[in-house]
A = this chain, B = another copy of it.
Amino acid sequence: MSLRGALLVAQAGGPSCVINSSLYGVIAEAGGRPEITALLGARHGIEGVLKGDFIDLAAQDPEDILGLKRTPAAALGGCRRQLNSADPDDGDIRRLLAILARYDVRYFIYNGGNDSMDTALKVHQAAAAAGYKLRVMGVPKTVDNDLVGTDYCPGYGSAGKYLATIVREAALHNESMFTSEPVTILVTVGRNAGWLPAACSLARRADNEAPHIICFPEVPFRKADFLAKVNNWRQRIGGAFIVSGEGLVDERGDYVMVKTGGVATDGFGHPELGAVGDYLKALIEENLGLKTRVIVPDISQQAAMHCAAAADVAYAELAGRQAVKGALEGLNGLMSTITVNGREIGSGYVPLATVANAERPLPPAFIDSAGDFVSGEFFEYIRPFIQGTVELPRDDNGLPLFVRLRGRQA
């Protein structure tokens, strides 16, 4: 089973505040293993892989490597680029195989979401087709928590904890302004999945507390129902705090708002979702005459290290370690997973082919019968992943300090 060569790790897709903890797990697990002759990090995912743009992870300051566990974003750089083919005759694949051979890469660890697992799968297939000995393992990452085959995606707990924190705070603000600005909308990321809007429910501790209405991408958006609910909360308590996913769809399954023109698709070819907050605001102001504020945390929810959950950091590290462990044991073409079995949280593996390009929506059991809040089951699910705080070193002004990796070329 023993395979000797370099380990190449890359981060892909949009980062989270714990993707560097997975990188730490990879480095920590690979360090000192005699089979691993070099420890390389590709810059900007597959883009750096194709260019041989690597940094030597074994040459970093050990303090910086430890610091990865408290540094948000992708220390190696993320990317939105995918491989279009696994055909050994494809130009990218030829480049890929040449680079892997040049650096004698035998372990390929790719940390990302469902698009990125498709890329990892293509690397795996291409190496197999070319007869190049390579063990390819994926590591799950996405604040959206929508990967198939894993019960949890590192990054979700911290993003959810941050969002719930600012919802609890902003909702008090909203409530204190009910007589003049009675409605607030907070829009999360997550595309078609409602996991992040669901996490905002943690802010509510008593009936009548925010969030009052959660708009899930999984529940068809009906204008009249929505307006009736907003009006109902206005009558009952004086206003409403609304949380919405970005990928709301109508009863026909069409996005309620898709942006056109400009740079309107991302590198993966997905349409850029329109400003659903502006859409809901206009709907409320025009139909109910209620002044509405809109909060769009955007990438600040993916980068919110100052609200990170210690549990999330730990599971991110575990997912990274398990990928390397599996590869060293001879596994190939799999993604490490975080598993939930009752109160037991563990790890396992799932084929990359199962994860690639698929999405796991919020299960119906996690949504309440009215379709605008979570169920008790959801709270049971999320609780373990948001536990614990992460102490951050601070500068003279009390702002958190982060690390950067050194060196551009290995």
Name A residues whose Cβ lies closer than 8 Å to a Cβ of B.
Answer: 11, 14-15, 17, 44, 47, 71-81, 161, 164-166, 168-170, 172-181, 184, 186, 202-203, 205, 262-263, 266-267, 275, 278, 281-282, 285-286, 289-300, 302-307, 309, 383, 386-389, 395, 397-400, 402
Contact = CB atoms under 8 A, between A and B. Distances in A.
A28 B399 CA distance: 31
B169 A304 contact: yes
Nearest to A206: B404
Contacts of A11: 176
A108 B377 CA distance: 50
- The 10 A-B residue pairs whose C-beta atoms are closest, nearest first, are A73-B172, A80-B180, A74-B176, A169-B303, A173-B303, A296-B296, A262-B285, A73-B173, A73-B176, A166-B300
Nearest to A76: B176
Contact of A300 (B15, B44, B170, B179): B170
Contacts of A304: 166, 169
A398 B388 contact: yes
B399 A165 contact: yes
Contacts of A303: 166, 169-170, 172-173
B299 A44 contact: no
**Interface-centre pick from A175, A290, A397 (highest chain B CB count, 10 A):** A397
Contact of A398 (B78, B180, B386): B386
Contact of A294 (B80, B168, B298): B298
Contacts of A202: 397, 399
20 contacts: A14-B173, A14-B181, A44-B179, A72-B169, A72-B172, A75-B176, A77-B178, A78-B180, A161-B397, A161-B398, A161-B399, A166-B300, A173-B299, A263-B289, A275-B278, A293-B298, A294-B296, A295-B299, A386-B397, A386-B398
Contacts of A72: 169, 172-173
Contacts of A402: 168-169, 172
A405 to B, nearest CB: 11
A395 B400 CA distance: 23
